[in-house]
Amino acid sequence: MRLHRPDDSRAELNISQNRSRKICLYAIGGNALSNPLSPNGENDVMDAVLNDVFDIIEAGYSVVLTHGNGPQVGELLLMEESHGEQPEGLDHWVAATQGTLGHDIATRLDGLLTSRKRHEQVATLLTRVAVNPEDSAFAMPTKPIGPTITGVVPEHWTAGQTSTGLRRLVPSPRPLEILDSDAIESLVNAGAIVLACGGGGIPVLVDETGFHGVEAVIDKDLVSSLLAQTLSVDLFIISTAVDSIKLNFGTSNETPLRLVAAADLNAHLVAGQFPMGSMGPKVESLLSAKLSNPSMEVILCMPGDALAAVRGEAGTTVEN
């Protein structure tokens, strides 16, 4: 069911049979991106990401990029509150970071492509994502945004301990549908490198009167998995700060998983190996994509390791 076009009777497009190139969806964490308030900052991690993208294009794939925005959206929200302004709402700030980060990524990627004699154009698309108004996440904020809290926590905030310290927490409902997926598909089919679903997508509620923004930040990995499934991509990569999925992470018994069956990975998830505040959503997202389309190549790796991971020399690959 398509939430935004209940009267649309057209047959669903079999995307995999109507394209000339394979598609890779590459998901970037918000911590890999430069601060939108410091546009002149350099970032070695981002350089590695862009080199991954170039390598994937050279390997014959069309590319769709998604990215997080937890640090950036929190900074913008803090800036707004420090000026005592009427709050615009988290949906507005997610849209703003889609623009600022999308511009930053697209500019740098355009420069790299030009310097290496590639002809592809980069398109940044503001992307809306439908969520359920009854999602339990609205009553239990879990998504960390902004910097680590070092002082007194404001009374109107919800805060919680994360792997990096005390952080502000906001609602993070599950994505139901990517409302602009047709536009993403069209841009991909036209040969563009597409930046979409930035910051998890702009969260909206859908009813008979239209779309309405909502106070939330959607998890980037979950929406990336949904987009990978929607587009029937051939290769889905989550790029993150660790070199592989690990059992007993941070202990003396830490064990990397290089090639893991989906059923085994799910068993480890159920057993509590992957906390929801860190690796849990990534593992869930990889599993969801793989189980929905067993022929999809599904990988987690560090920035710069994409092609090595595709060859099985780095990262974690989820198999059937």
In a domain, 184, yes or no: yes
Structural domain harbouring 88 = 17-129+174-233
Q: Residue 26 forms beta bridges with which residues?
A: 65, 237
pLDDT tens-digit series, residues 143-162: 888 778 888 887 888 888 88
pLDDT tens-digit series, residues 257-274: 999 999 999 999 999 999
In a domain, 218, yes or no: yes
89-98, 122-131, 158-167: range with lowest mean pLDDT: 158-167
In a domain, 40, yes or no: yes
The answer to pTM > 0.85 is: yes
What pLDDT does residue 208 have? 93
Confirm if 118 and 54 have CB atoms less than 8 A apart.
Answer: yes
In the block, tokens 């009854």 appear at 134
What distance in Å separates the CA atoms of residue 318 and residue 320, rounded to the nearest whole number? Answer: 7
Residue 239 sits at φ, ψ, to 5 deg, of: -95, 125
Q: How many CA atoms lie within 13 A of 242 on its CB side?
A: 16
DSSP SS3 for 313 = coil
pLDDT band at 11, cuts 50/70/90?
very low
In a domain, 74, yes or no: yes
What distance in Å separates the CA atoms of residue 20 and residue 10, rounded to the nearest whole number? Answer: 22
What's the structural domain count of the chain? 1
What pLDDT does residue 3 have? 58
| Helices 90-115/70-82 angle, 10° precision | 130
Confirm if 172 and 216 have CB atoms less than 8 A apart.
Answer: yes
In a domain, 206, yes or no: yes
User: What is the torsion angle, in degrees rounded to the nearest 10, for the CA atoms of residue 242, residue 239, residue 247 and residue 286?
Assistant: 170
In a domain, 269, yes or no: no
In a domain, 311, yes or no: no
Give the CATH number, domain containing residue 26.
Answer: 3.40.1160.10
The residues assigned a catalytic role are 30-31, 143, 220, 282
Identify which of 11, 88, 109, 29 has the alpha carbon closest to the alpha carbon of residue 303.
29
